[in-house]
Each structure stands twice: as C-alpha cells, then as structure tokens.
Amino acid sequence: MAEILKGKPIADGISEQINQKRSLLQDKGIKVKIAAVQVGDDPATAYYVKSQRKQADKHNIEHQHFKLAPQATQSQLIEAITELNKSSSITGIILLTPLPEHIDAWAAQTAIDPKKDIEGIHPSNLGLLVYNRQRLAPCTALAAVKMLQACGVDLVGAETVIVGRSAIVGKPVALILLERKLSATVTICHTGTSKKGKLIEHISRADIVIAAMGSPEAIKGKWIKRGAVVIDVGVNQVGDKLVGDVEFEPAAERASIITPVPGGVGVVTTRLLMLNAVEAACWQNGIE
Ligand code: NDP
C-alpha cells in the first residue's frame, strides 16, 4: 500500500519560506500587496477570492479585490491592469477567470507586468522556464514538482509521464523537470496519445506519473507500475465529491507514493501563490 503524500506538511514548509522572505522585505520597508482583478460576478470566483484572501491574511500579505462590471470593455480592463502595473503599492496581480466572452483573455493576461504576474503564466515567465531562468512559474506546475522533491524521489533519469499539455500545468511541469538540476526523462501524453491507444503503454512503464488531464479517475489503478510515484493534479467534481484523474484506491495498491484529492497538490498550489507574491516583490526590488 502506497504512502499517502499529503499537501499540508509541504505547504507548512512553504509558509516558513513566505514568512522569512516577507519579513526580509518588511525590514526594507517593502509591503507585499496582491490585486485580484475580476470582471463580472461569477460566484465560484468570489469563493476563490475569499480563499486567496484567507491565505494572504495568514501570511500578512495585503490583498485587494478589484471588481469590474460584467459589461466592462476590453479597453477598460486593460486600462485597469495598466494602472495596477504602474502602482508602486501593488506588487502582484491576479486576473481572475472566467472572463466574459467579449474579453480577449490573451490580451488581458499578457498586459500584466511579468514582474507582477504572481500566477507565473505570462509568456515572458513561461519563456524563462525554457531557458532555465525560472522566476515566477505557474503555481500548480511548481506544486507538482515540490511534492516530488518533498518525497525525496530520485528524479535524475526517472521515466516521468505527464498526462496533459496545458500551458499552466503539463508543459511547465515538463520544463521544470527537464532543468539540469532535476534531469528527469519526460514524456507528455495528450488526447492524441489516447486516440492512438498508447496512454496505457506510457503510464505502465512510468516511474513517476503526473496526471493533469481533468478527467475523473480516467487513469486506472491497474495501469500503474508497481512502486511508481503518482502525483494527481486533477480536481474533478463528481456528484458531491472531488476526485482526481487517477483511480485512487487501486492505484494506491500498486504505487509507492500517491497524492490524495482533495488534500494533495491543491493545498500546495494555493500556498505557492503566496510564495510567488513575495518572490515577485523581491524581483521588483532587485532582491535575489
Ligand atoms: P486543460 O483542460 O487545460 O488540459 C487538460 C489536458 O489533458 C489537455 O492537454 C488534454 O489534451 C489532456 N487530456 C484530456 N483528456 C485526455 C485523455 N483522455 N487522454 C490524454 N490526455 C487528455 O486542464 P488544466 O491543465 O488547466 O488542468 C488539468 C487538471 O488539473 C484539471 O482537473 C484541473 O481542475 C486541475 N487543476 C488543479 C489545480 C490544483 O491546484 N490542484 C490547479 C489547476 C488545475 P489535449 O491538449 O490533447 O486536449
């Protein structure tokens, strides 16, 4: 039976890092302040903002919610983002999704100053990953890697299969794992892999499986190689339950380590958003 790798102890370790860096900034008279920008009234977004604020309060980080009307235009949104970019008191910006259909999400997201992009999803920040010059990386991708590092698994040359190739999870996880200091051997699977019936083949030879596909329990437990490490990034609502992309119980029978859903990667992700917030303030002020 696998060891269940919970997110909380790892998140608590990240909190220590956040508090250390935040007090270093405080000693220099620098305050960390996040601006969360929302267009419209999506209720799920309101819930997300509340949980962000709770995390910010816990780490003595200021958090301000900027709400634009649902009918706000593209140029009004860009104007608001430009003001936040210019503001010396705002050190981090989050553009909340979903955005209304009339908004060009790419234009809005890329309008954020990369040094204030605490979600780490601006093309400049993703580009830095390609060059091994990571500054602000996407929190979920970082969380998956942090969990692997926390369990002490030897990544060098490890056959690592990532399922999912999104810009915020699958691809950045691959880029981080390819960094020379980690040096995993990475395969990325996607719907093309499944269409050719090759997903099982890849998963069953993997030392490490990172599931980020958004499909409830689509990865069957019996596909997992005995002793493999399974990081389940997926969060899927099934009835009143949250489940991952991996069929948990049968996978836990075969894996050596597995992350639970909920209580796994998600907990680490939200904490890393706060770490990115302090890292961003450091970057803006030339602090390494
Ligand atoms: P996307 O929908 O953007 O990407 C899903 C990826 O999975 C795509 O690349 C898609 O392939 C691939 N995929 C889907 N179905 C299959 C299949 N049957 N076989 C092979 N590949 C498949 O999702 P995200 O990357 O944004 O998120 C992935 C999961 O992670 C979701 O469950 C999401 O809820 C969760 N998540 C969790 C977070 C956390 O903090 N724990 C934070 C962010 C996301 P293709 O490109 O070919 O379409």
The verdict on the CB of residue 128 being under 6 Å from ligand 1 is: no
The verdict on the CB of residue 258 being under 6 Å from ligand 1 is: no
257-288 pLDDT per residue, tens: 999 999 999 999 999 999 999 999 999 999 98
The mean per-residue pLDDT over the stretch 185-204 comes to 98
The verdict on the CB of residue 206 being under 6 Å from ligand 1 is: no
d(CA 225, CA 213): 19
Tokens 């929302």, located at residue = 38
How far, in Å, is the centroid of ligand 1 from the Cα of 192? 13
How far, in Å, is the centroid of ligand 1 from the Cα of 16? 30
CATH 3.40.50.10860 placement within the chain: 29-118
Mean pLDDT of the chain: 97
- Residue 54's identity, in one-letter code, is K
164 pLDDT more than 90: yes
Closest atom of ligand 1 to CA, residue 245: 32
How far, in Å, is the centroid of ligand 1 from the Cα of 233? 8
What is the model's pLDDT at position 87?
Answer: 98
CATH 3.40.50.720 placement within the chain: 139-266
What is the model's pLDDT at position 269?
Answer: 97
pTM value is 0.96
- Residue 72's identity, in one-letter code, is A
> Which fold, 139-266?
Rossmann fold (3.40.50)
How far, in Å, is the centroid of ligand 1 from the Cα of 164? 5
The verdict on the CB of residue 212 being under 6 Å from ligand 1 is: yes
Which residues is 117 bridged to in the sheet? Answer: 93
* pLDDT band, very low/low/confident/very high, at 86 (cuts 50, 70, 90): very high
d(CA 139, CA 278): 13
43 pLDDT more than 90: no
What is the model's pLDDT at position 55?
Answer: 97
Which of 48, 121, 165, 169 has most ligand 1 atoms within 8 Å of its beta carbon, as the pocket-test mutant? 169
Which residues is 3 bridged to in the sheet? Answer: 257
Which of 121, 126, 140, 202 has most ligand 1 atoms within 8 Å of its beta carbon, as the pocket-test mutant? 140
The mean per-residue pLDDT over the stretch 60-69 comes to 97
The verdict on the CB of residue 218 being under 6 Å from ligand 1 is: yes
110-163 pLDDT per residue, tens: 999 999 999 999 999 999 999 999 999 999 999 999 999 999 999 999 999 999
CA distances in angstroms from 111 to 38, 55, 95, 172, listed in the order given? 15, 25, 10, 21
What is the model's pLDDT at position 278?
Answer: 98
d(CA 118, CA 99): 18
What is the model's pLDDT at position 135?
Answer: 97
Which residues is 92 bridged to in the sheet? Answer: 34
What is the model's pLDDT at position 288?
Answer: 83
Query: Domain 29-118 - what CATH class?
Result: alpha beta
How far, in Å, is the centroid of ligand 1 from the Cα of 255? 22
- The answer to whether 40 and 73 have CB atoms below 8 angstroms apart is no
Interior/surface letters 148-170, b for 16+ CB within 10 angstroms, e for the rest: bebeebebeebbbbbbbbbebbb
What is the model's pLDDT at position 189?
Answer: 98
The verdict on the CB of residue 187 being under 6 Å from ligand 1 is: no
213 pLDDT more than 90: yes
101 pLDDT more than 90: yes
How far, in Å, is the centroid of ligand 1 from the Cα of 71? 30
The mean per-residue pLDDT over the stretch 242-264 comes to 98
What is the model's pLDDT at position 9?
Answer: 98
How far, in Å, is the centroid of ligand 1 from the Cα of 61? 30
Q: Which range is least confidently modeled, 8-17, 42-51, 205-214?
A: 42-51
14-26 pLDDT per residue, tens: 999 999 999 999 9
